[in-house]
Structures are given as C-alpha cells and as structure tokens.
C-alpha cells in the first residue's frame, strides 16, 4: 500500500505505510487517543500522501534502513509543524 497521511480534523498528523486496508484501519483505531491529542471529539481520517509527504516518509525510511533496521519494522513518522521560535529577551 502507498504511504497514507492520517489527518485529525483535517490537519496532517503523521504519514504511514500500512501493508493493507486492515492495518490502516487498525492503526487509526488503536492510535486514536494519541492522534486526537486529548480532544476526544476530533475526527481522524486519512488520504494518500502528496509528493512532499511521500518524500518525508522516504527520507525517514532511508534513515531507518541506514541504521541497520529491517523494512518490516518501519511503519511511519509523525508530521509536525515548525514551532514558533521564542522571542529573544530585550
């Protein structure tokens, strides 16, 4: 299966590559508490990864393999937005 992006209320949360629809559904079901981040009303959905998200997944996978890990043990990576830099004291 191609990499999929898990969205929470329409915001990308992570990119994963499940082996099939069953493993995708299982991930969303089992990871719902983490995905929702304390908001039990948040809606979890998924869609195919776009080119940028796919590149992020491929980079993380390459790093995983470079460390000597096997393909089967890599599932995905969180997508985070850059944190705002704190203001420097004046």
Indicate whether 52 belongs to any domain.
Answer: yes
**Other Cβ atoms within 10 Å of 42 Cβ, number:** 16
Indicate whether 90 belongs to any domain.
Answer: no
The average confidence (pLDDT) of the chain is: 87
Indicate whether 13 belongs to any domain.
Answer: yes
Structure confidence at residue 45 (pLDDT): 96
Indicate whether 25 belongs to any domain.
Answer: yes
Indicate whether 8 belongs to any domain.
Answer: yes
Q: What is the pTM of this model?
A: 0.81
Query: Do residues 78 and 13 make contact, with C-beta atoms less than 8 angstroms apart?
Result: yes
Range of the domain at 51: 4-78
Cα 64 from Cα 79, distance rounded (Å): 16
User: The tokens 């929702």 sit on which residue?
Assistant: 36
CA angle 80, 69, 52 (to 5 degrees): 30
Report the domain count for the chain.
1
Ramachandran sector of residue 37 (left: φ over 0; alpha: ψ -120 to 50; beta: rest)? left
Structure confidence at residue 53 (pLDDT): 95
Q: Which of the four pLDDT bands, split at 50, 70 and 90, describes residue 75?
A: confident
The DSSP code for 19 is S
36-62 tens-digit pLDDT: 988 999 999 999 999 999 999 999 999
Cα 49 from Cα 55, distance rounded (Å): 9
């Amino acid at each position: 299966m191609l990499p999929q992006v898990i969205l929470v209320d329409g915001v990308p949360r992570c990119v994963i590559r499940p082996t099939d629809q069953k493993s995708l559904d299982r991930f969303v079901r089992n990871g719902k508490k983490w995905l929702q981040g304390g908001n039990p009303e948040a809606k979890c959905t998924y869609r195919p990864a776009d080119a940028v998200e796919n590149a992020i997944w491929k980079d993380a996978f390459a790093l995983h393999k470079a460390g000597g890990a096997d393909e089967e043990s890599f599932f995905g990576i969180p997508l985070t937005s850059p944190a705002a830099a704190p203001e420097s004291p004046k």
